């Protein structure tokens, strides 16, 4: 009896040991300070996270900042699209909401009727505000909390809780953006597979012989600074890399001039994920 018990405990120990060490380990690689050069090139500050899906590696520049929560700004359009599709407010990506004839700046795509496809591509704020109004506070809060999106705070108006110029309080960190994107990529969010697939289809921004780019930008101002997001993933022939870039500047033109994508692609090139232009 004693011998059988001993064998049992040895077997149990070996089983637990093998299970523990069979799990893929996430290896964190902290980027060195010389990567500041990519931000300096565009005269912006900020931080970046890049995660290697296949090799379970996470690359950081300014790790502490990547855990700080900021307004998602227009990157929330990813989640907002999921909600619209899931609730049936938006039946498919071609669904058009008529323009209300209100002039909003000088950006032409905002001054016409838009489909979900074009509203995402041109970051049409009014389209997504109307989408959120049609969804309503209760269902929006339920889906945000169910998916644990950022700080889950939508206390301000239903059509402005993600916008700082409307005193929106919703916040999310770069690390949280990465986790959200990974779940979306794998159809692991608390949304139907259809809603996730359709949302991913409108995120496709660029296709080359070497990669496919799925992404969304965002920008807002707060505390006398402008903040810019660039989040998404890039699929190569062998792997998938998720990224969340967040830059800051007192001059919004430096962000609009290409800093967000520029810093991201410089890092992807530095890490050998994509080839540098010849």
Angle between helices 125-135 and 137-146 (to 10 degrees): 100
The token duo for 171 is 């916040």
From 47, 74, 123, 249, active-site residue: 74
End-to-end CA distance of the chain: 73
Comparing CA positions, the residue from 222, 67, 81 lying closest to residue 151 is 67
Which region, left, alpha or beta, applies to residue 153 given φ > 0 means left and ψ of -120 to 50 means alpha? beta
Comparing CA positions, the residue from 226, 270, 242, 273 lying closest to residue 176 is 242
Q: Where does 67-110 have alpha helices with state H?
A: 76-87
Angle between helices 125-135 and 76-87 (to 10 degrees): 40
Tokens 């799990």 label which residue? 23
**Annotation marks residue 94 as catalytic:** no
The token duo for 275 is 């080839």
Phi, psi of 32, deg, nearest 5: -80, 165
Catalytic residues: 74
């Amino acid at each position: 009896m004693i011998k059988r018990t001993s064998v049992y405990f040895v077997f149990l120990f070996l089983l637990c040991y093998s299970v523990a060490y069979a799990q893929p380990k996430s290896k964190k690689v902290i980027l060195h300070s010389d990567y500041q050069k990519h931000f300096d090139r565009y005269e912006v500050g900020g931080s970046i996270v890049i995660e290697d899906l296949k090799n379970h590696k996470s690359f950081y520049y300014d790790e502490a900042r990547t855990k700080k929560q900021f307004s998602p700004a227009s990157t929330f359009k990813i989640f907002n699209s999921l909600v619209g599709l899931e609730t049936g407010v938006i039946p498919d990506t071609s669904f058009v909401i008529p323009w209300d004839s209100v002039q909003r700046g000088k950006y032409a795509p905002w001054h016409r009727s838009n489909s979900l496809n074009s509203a995402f591509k041109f970051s049409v704020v009014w389209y997504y505000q109307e989408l959120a109004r049609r969804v309503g506070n209760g269902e929006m809060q339920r889906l945000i909390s169910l998916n644990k999106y950022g700080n889950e705070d939508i206390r301000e108006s239903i059509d402005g809780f993600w916008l700082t110029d409307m005193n929106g309080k919703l916040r999310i960190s770069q690390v949280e953006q990465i986790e959200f994107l990974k779940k979306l990529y794998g159809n692991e969010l608390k949304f139907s597979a259809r809603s996730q697939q359709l949302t991913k289809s409108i995120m496709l921004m660029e296709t080359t012989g070497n990669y496919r780019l799925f992404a969304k930008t965002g920008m807002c101002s707060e505390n006398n600074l402008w903040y810019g997001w660039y989040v998404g993933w890039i699929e190569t022939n062998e792997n998938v890399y998720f990224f969340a870039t967040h830059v800051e500047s007192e001059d919004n033109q430096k962000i609009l001039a290409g800093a967000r994508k520029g810093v991201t692609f410089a890092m992807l090139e530095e890490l050998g994920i994509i080839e540098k232009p010849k």
